[in-house]
Amino acid sequence: MILVILWLVQDLLTVFTGGGMQIPGLFMLGVAYRLLIDDGSGDESLWAIWTAFAGGVLWDIRWIGIPGFFTLGYVVVVLIVIQVWGIIPPQGRVSGTGLIVFALLEASQIIPPALPIIVLGGNTSWGGFFMQQAYSLPAILFTMYVYSRKVRSSSV
């Protein structure tokens, strides 16, 4: 339910700015966060792939017009998070993973919006992409804060 709310908030912020301001991918941050606090069950991975796929298709149909750009980016991010997070043993996820968590959350903000720019080339703006990265930094830091509080409270 929280992911639906994040998708709607992201959509409403894009509507309110008239599409002129690049909004951070709040939905993808939510999916990546949920994967990071995963309890280790295999169902979470499959759930995340389908959730990212559905959210990406909706975003593509709503804003891009060509289904596939953000869908591919969302699914790639989920697969990267699953693979990288799966390499780290559960005991090592508690401490010393701040940089890895930041990199995974940042990947959720870099990969999806970069795909249309890479594929379409000059039709889109790198300036808007870099502004989106600047706007997404506070959201990433807040997500890291929430993640660290969750890890601290569950490990005590």
In a domain, 126, yes or no: yes
Q: What is the DSSP string of 87-119?
A: HS-GGGGSSS-HHHHHHHHHHHHHHHHHHHHHH
The H or E element spanning position 125 is: none
Indicate the pTM of the whole model: 0.86
In a domain, 56, yes or no: yes
Contact predicate 43/153, CB 8 Å: no
In a domain, 2, yes or no: no
pLDDT tens for each residue of 59-80: 888 877 677 888 999 999 999 9
Average pLDDT over residues 87-115: 83
In a domain, 12, yes or no: no
pLDDT tens for each residue of 110-144: 988 888 777 776 555 677 778 888 889 999 999 99
In a domain, 138, yes or no: yes
In a domain, 4, yes or no: no
Domain range for 143: 25-155
Total domains in the chain come to 1
- Predicted local distance difference test score (pLDDT) of residue 117: 75
